[in-house]
């Protein structure tokens, strides 16, 4: 049984404040001063990133490009071999992740909005990074059905401790299909690394249900990470007007969208709160006003010792990092690290510093370190 914890005046709530102007690249937080180093700029809405074993950084741009940021700060041009993508609204090239066996097989996974005759849907594929290009890229999973529209693609890739691939999928702004197991809209799917369906998935063998589905009743999930301390998948999904949610998706559980939500529709029509329908799984935390979560990592390093064990969530509306402080499966506090930019993704670097992507036409890669 998961317990929902709402932050109140008595709970731990911390916020950073600018120490000096943003151009000076310093931010004061309750746990110390942070220096912001610009590692790259000129990216067109960067979306996802993954560190290579040699310290270089793979970065996606929503317009369809995959680039490599060298250790010395040199940024490559778009590398060849990436898929054709649907670039409209929230669609485009999305996340990037390395295969757990990358050091041997050189496999890189990309999620993206895939065009088709009926519209677009989220897909994930893989190819080998070799000689500065992606070779042999092929799609291993595609969300069904393809629909018109340019919103709610989800797209985060997370590998479990057992090597299974989780992919988060938005409901493509279609609402009711998120309650229908015969499609992939508004779901978290779990597949093997080659795209096949694990036999222990919760809906395998159920007539009329997609075997890839792990959990359903989600709205739009652009934030996900594996908790290395527990092995559990954590996700943060965007609510409508209010009601962003932090969830721990369990196999076969229904998270209620669009029947219930902690937010309201954009026309201000109320939506029943989750406790009014106990059959749905509830969030362990929710945010109103929204933070618009995108990207997440659990910090395990030594550079920011006060952050160890926390979930660092990118905030588009929050314009910074939302540090969620946990005790097992319970949220006990929150810190806002204000960066004055829409943060699309967050990663822990090999040297334990923290990297973030800014979501803008002139997108940047920033490296965060403590300032003594």
Contact 136, 128 (CB under 8 A): yes
The tokens for 211 are 């075997």
- The residue among 363, 303, 325, 326 whose CA lies nearest residue 62 is 363
The rounded distance, in Å, linking the Cα atoms of 198 and 148 is: 30
Report the first-to-last Cα separation within the chain, whole angstroms.
42
State the Cα–Cα distance between residues 239 and 127, nearest whole angstrom.
33
CA distance 225 to 252: 19
In 168-221, alpha helices (H): none
Instruction: Enumerate the active-site residues.
Output: 152
Give the DSSP letter string of 39-86: EEEEESSEEEEEE-TTS-EEEEETTS-EEEE-TTS-B--PPS-PPP--
């Amino acid at each position: 049984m998961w317990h929902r914890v709402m932050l109140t005046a008595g709970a731990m709530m911390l916020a950073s404040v600018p120490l000096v102007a943003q151009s000076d690249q310093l931010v004061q937080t309750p746990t110390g001063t942070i220096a912001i180093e610009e590692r790259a700029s000129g990216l067109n809405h960067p979306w996802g990133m993954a560190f290579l074993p040699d310290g270089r950084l793979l970065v996606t741009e929503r317009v369809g490009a995959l680039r490599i940021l060298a250790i010395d700060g040199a940024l490559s041009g778009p590398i060849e071999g990436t898929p054709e993508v649907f670039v409209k609204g929230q669609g485009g090239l999305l996340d990037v992740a390395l295969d757990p066996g990358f050091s041997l097989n050189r496999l890189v996974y990309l999620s993206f909005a895939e065009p088709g005759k009926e519209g677009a849907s989220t897909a994930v594929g893989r190819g080998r990074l070799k000689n500065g290009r992606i070779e042999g890229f092929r799609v291993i999973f595609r969300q069904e059905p393809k629909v018109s529209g340019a919103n709610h693609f989800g797209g985060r890739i997370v590998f479990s401790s057992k090597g299974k691939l989780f992919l988060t999928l938005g409901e493509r702004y279609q609402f009711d299909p998120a309650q229908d197991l015969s499609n992939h809209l508004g779901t978290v799917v779990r597949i093997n690394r080659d795209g096949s369906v694990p036999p222990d998935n919760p809906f395998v063998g159920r007539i009329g249900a997609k075997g890839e589905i792990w959990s359903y009743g989600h709205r739009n999930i652009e934030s996900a990470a594996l908790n290395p301390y527990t092995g559990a998948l954590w996700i943060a999904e965007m609510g409508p007007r209010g009601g962003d949610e932090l969830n721990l998706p369990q196999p076969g559980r229904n998270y209620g969208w669009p029947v219930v939500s902690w937010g309201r529709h954009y026309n201000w029509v109320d939506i029943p709160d989750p406790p009014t329908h106990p059959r749905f799984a509830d969030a362990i935390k929710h945010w109103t006003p929204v933070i618009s979560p995108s990207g997440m990592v659990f910090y395990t390093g030594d550079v920011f010792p006060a952050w160890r064990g926390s979930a660092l969530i990118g905030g588009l509306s929050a314009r910074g990092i939302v540090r969620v402080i946990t005790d097992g499966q319970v949220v006990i506090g929150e810190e806002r690290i204000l960066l004055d930019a829409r943060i699309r993704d967050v990663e822990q670097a090999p040297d334990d510093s923290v990297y973030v992507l800014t979501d803008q036409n002139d997108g940047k890669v920033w490296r965060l370190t403590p300032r003594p």
